[in-house]
Amino acid sequence: MKTEDIKALLPYADPFLFVDEILHIDENRVKGTYTFNAESGFYKGHFKGNPVTPGVLLIEAMAQIGLVCLGIYILNKNFNKKYTIALTSTECDFIKPVYPGEKVTVVSEKMYFRFGKLKCKTIMTNEAGEEVCRGTIAGMIT
């Protein structure tokens, strides 16, 4: 599957789509990027005079690239049906801020996929290659 094929199957649209490109994907790993739009309205109030990307949106980008895209790839490759994955749990550590206009890269490795549940170890880095957050993310087939 190509990036555009996977993106077309995502249950998201702008302004809540946090996937620009998939650089690599196979049954065990995905690597993708997203650039946070500096004009997004949430930056006006988070934080006043010193905007940073809210952690919940960092998790969302990690989940969309690292869980949902990988899940769509696995499910459609193995079962040839239009399934998707919905987020069920996260445990993330935030290390550095992500600023407006910053491009991030998400790398996610499958920990397991069984009984309809996918769990992944996920890392987000900035353009300098510095880790900005990491964690485990899980979801179920929908």
Instruction: Write out pLDDT tens, residues 108-139.
Output: 999 999 999 999 999 999 999 999 999 999 99
Which tokens sit at 133? Answer: 């957050």
Based on the residue annotation, tell me whether 46 is a catalytic residue of this protein. yes
Question: pTM here?
Answer: 0.94
| Model pLDDT, residue 67 | 97
Q: Pick the catalytic residue: 35, 42, 46, 57?
A: 46
Which stretch of DSSP H or E encloses residue 87? strand 85-94
- Tens-digit pLDDT profile for residues 66-99: 999 999 999 887 776 677 788 999 999 999 999 9
Look up the CATH superfamily of 3-141. Hotdog Thioesterase (3.10.129.10)
* CA 70-71-75 angle, 5° bins: 120
Q: What is the pLDDT of residue 81?
A: 67
**DSSP type of residue 64:** I
Q: Are 69 and 22 in contact (CB under 8 A)?
A: yes
